[in-house]
Structure 1
Amino acid sequence: MAFILDTGALPAADRVEAVHTAMMYASAPCHVIHEDPDGPIHARMEVWDLGDTNIFTCRSSGLRLLRTARLARQDAMPVISLAVQQQGYGRLDQYGRQEITPPGELLGVDLSGAYDYSWSSDGAAGCVQIPLDRLDLPADSVRQALGRLRASPLHRLVTAHVATLSRDRARITADPTAPAVAATTVDLVRALLASAARTERHTRQAMAETLLTRIRAYTRQNLADPELSPAMVAAAHNISLRQLYKICSGAGLSLEQWIISERLRGARHDLLSPGHRHRPVGAIARSWGFRDPTHFTRRFKARYGETPSRLRQASQDARLPVTSVPSADRG
Structure 2
Amino acid sequence: MLLLDLDTFAPKDRVDAFHHAMNDTSVPNDIVHESPETGIRARFEAWRVGSLDLFDARSTGFEVRRTARHVRWHRDRPVVSVSLQTLGIHNAENRGERYVLGPDDIGVFHELAPRSYGWYGEGAVQAITIDMEHLGVPVGTVVRASVRLRASPMHDLVLAHLRALWRGPGRLEADPGTAALGNATIELVRALLTSAAHDEDDRRVRAVMDGSLVNRIMAYVRRHLSDPDLTPDRIAQEHAISRRQLYMVLSRADIRLEQWVIGERLEAACRLLASPRHAGLPVSAVAARCGFTSPSHFTRRFRAAYGVTPREWRRHRIQDSACNAPAPPHPPRKLP
CA 107–170 in structure 1, closer or farther in 2 if over 3 Å, else same: same
CA 148–9 in structure 1, closer or farther in 2 if over 3 Å, else same: same
| Contact 1:61–1:122 (CA under 8 A) maintained in structure 2 | yes
Q: Describe the superposition over 1:126-158 as per-residue Cα deviations: whole angstroms up to 9, x where unpaired.
A: 121112221223332222112221111110111
Question: 2:214 corresponds to which residue?
Answer: 212
Matched, 1:25 2:27: no
In the superposition, the TM-score normalised over structure 1's length comes to 0.68
Matched, 1:188 2:188: yes
Q: How far apart in 2 are the matches of 1:128 and 1:78? A: 13
| Contact 2:54–2:126 (CA under 8 A) maintained in structure 1 | yes
| Contact 1:90–1:101 (CA under 8 A) maintained in structure 2 | yes
| Contact 1:137–1:190 (CA under 8 A) maintained in structure 2 | yes
Question: 1:4 corresponds to which residue?
Answer: 3
Higher mean C-alpha displacement, 209-218 vs 7-16: 209-218
**CA shift for structure 1 position 219:** 8.8
**Identity percentage of aligned residues:** 36
Q: How far apart in 2 are the matches of 1:40 and 1:216? A: 51
Higher mean C-alpha displacement, 51-60 vs 243-252: 243-252
In the superposition, the TM-score normalised over structure 2's length comes to 0.67
CA 218–163 in structure 1, closer or farther in 2 if over 3 Å, else same: farther
Counterpart of 1:161 in structure 2: which amino acid? H
CA 219–15 in structure 1, closer or farther in 2 if over 3 Å, else same: farther
The CA RMSD measured in Å over matched residues stands at: 3.2
Bigger CA radius of gyration = 2
Question: 2:116 corresponds to which residue?
Answer: 116
**CA shift for structure 1 position 242:** 5.5
Q: How far apart in 2 are the matches of 1:196 and 1:165? A: 22
Question: 2:241 corresponds to which residue?
Answer: 237
> Structure 2 matches for 1:92-171, cutoff 5 A?
92-171=92-171
**CA shift for structure 1 position 16:** 1.4
Q: How far apart in 1 are the matches of 2:259 and 2:131? A: 32
CA 74–155 in structure 1, closer or farther in 2 if over 3 Å, else same: same
| Contact 2:4–2:44 (CA under 8 A) maintained in structure 1 | yes
**CA shift for structure 1 position 166:** 2.9
| Contact 1:142–1:197 (CA under 8 A) maintained in structure 2 | yes
**CA shift for structure 1 position 106:** 1.1
| Contact 2:58–2:125 (CA under 8 A) maintained in structure 1 | yes
| Contact 1:82–1:162 (CA under 8 A) maintained in structure 2 | no
Question: 1:66 corresponds to which residue?
Answer: 65
CA 70–242 in structure 1, closer or farther in 2 if over 3 Å, else same: closer
The answer for unaligned runs of 5 or more in structure 2 is 223-228, 269-288, 291-336
Question: 1:90 corresponds to which residue?
Answer: 90
Question: 1:285 corresponds to which residue?
Answer: none
Counterpart of 1:45 in structure 2: which amino acid? F
Q: How many residues align?
A: 254
Question: 1:75 corresponds to which residue?
Answer: 74
Q: Describe the superposition over 1:108-133 as per-residue Cα deviations: whole angstroms up to 9, x where unpaired.
A: 11222211111000001112111222
Q: How far apart in 1 are the matches of 2:112 and 2:40? A: 27
**CA shift for structure 1 position 3:** 4.9
Q: How far apart in 1 are the matches of 2:59 and 2:163? A: 18
CA 239–24 in structure 1, closer or farther in 2 if over 3 Å, else same: farther
> Structure 2 matches for 1:247-286, cutoff 5 A?
247=257, 250=260, 253=264
Counterpart of 1:208 in structure 2: which amino acid? D
Q: How far apart in 2 are the matches of 1:96 and 1:217? A: 39
**CA shift for structure 1 position 49:** 1.8
SS at match of 1:142: helix
SS at match of 1:8: helix
SS at match of 1:153: coil
SS at match of 2:38: coil
Q: How far apart in 2 are the matches of 1:116 and 1:9? A: 28
Higher mean C-alpha displacement, 15-24 vs 84-93: 15-24
Q: How far apart in 2 are the matches of 1:92 and 1:168? A: 27
Q: How far apart in 1 are the matches of 2:38 and 2:173? A: 35
CA 206–215 in structure 1, closer or farther in 2 if over 3 Å, else same: same
SS at match of 1:237: coil
Counterpart of 1:207 in structure 2: which amino acid? M
SS at match of 2:99: strand
CA 247–136 in structure 1, closer or farther in 2 if over 3 Å, else same: farther
